[in-house]
Amino acid sequence: MLWNPACDAVSVYGGRFEGMSDNTQAPENKVSDMYEYGYRKSNYGPDELVTDAHGNPISVTDAMMSAAQAAEATTVTPHLCYYSPRIPGNTGSAIRLCAVTGTILHLVEPLGFNLRDTKLRRAGLDYHDMAHVVLHPNFDDLVASMPNSRIIAFTAHATKLYTDIEYKPTDILLFGPEPGDIPDPMDIMAGPHVAEQVRLPMRPSLRSLNLTNCASIAIYEAWRQLGFKGGQ
């Protein structure tokens, strides 16, 4: 049975209510005991960081999808693609975003972390086995595997706003790496494979939003245009 966050927040976000029995042998209590105020307690190791409702460890690798499967899948939102992400927490948050919206997440190597990274697993909580993730060895593999998809690149260099696009479920919303020592790969974000470049508006002189905050805004705008199909 899938965990319902609206009904059972205690199982992840932690702590016991006063008077709750100390039956830590029960799987649901074991999950609850791992967390306090939304954070994993220090006495639990990485292998126990993320579990399903039965206390079994889960990982993003448990729900991997092949590129061919992703190309054939029927989706209710556009696909989301992170090119060479570097911060595991952002990708973990994207996994959670994709689980709740029904979005397929494409990750293009090289990645700045291991897919079993503790911070990635923490940010994704117990949604890892509910989101479909595709790993591509390079960007050409993404382009070749999704020939019928329009790639929309989100970049600060664009002039068109993200709200000026009419989104389709087959689209791929492309986001580059988080800001850092490596410059943005403009050959990827502005190459011939890109159908549109769009940006999110911001106040002048401010550099950027968090990567997955940007992706969330984009996915929900696309899903809104598509009537929130599959949602409730």
- Residue list, annotated binding site for S-adenosyl-L-methionine: 176, 200, 208
Burial of 110 (0-12, 13-18, 19+ CB in 10 A): exposed
User: Could you tell me how many residues make up the chain?
Assistant: 232
Burial of 184 (0-12, 13-18, 19+ CB in 10 A): middle
Inter-CA distances, 196 with 105, 131, 150, 172, 201, Å: 19, 26, 8, 11, 16
**Separation between Cα atoms, residue 121 and residue 200, nearest integer Å:** 28
**Separation between Cα atoms, residue 96 and residue 37, nearest integer Å:** 18
Helices marked H in the chain — which ranges? 10-13, 27-34, 67-72, 88-101, 118-124, 139-145, 186-189, 211-225
By three-state DSSP, how is residue 221 classified?
A: helix
Q: Exposed e or buried b for every residue in 34-62, given b needs 16+ CB within 10 A?
A: bbeeeebeeeeeeeebbbbbeeeebbbee
Q: List the binding residues.
A: 176, 200, 208
State which H helix or E strand residue 108 sits in.
strand 105-108
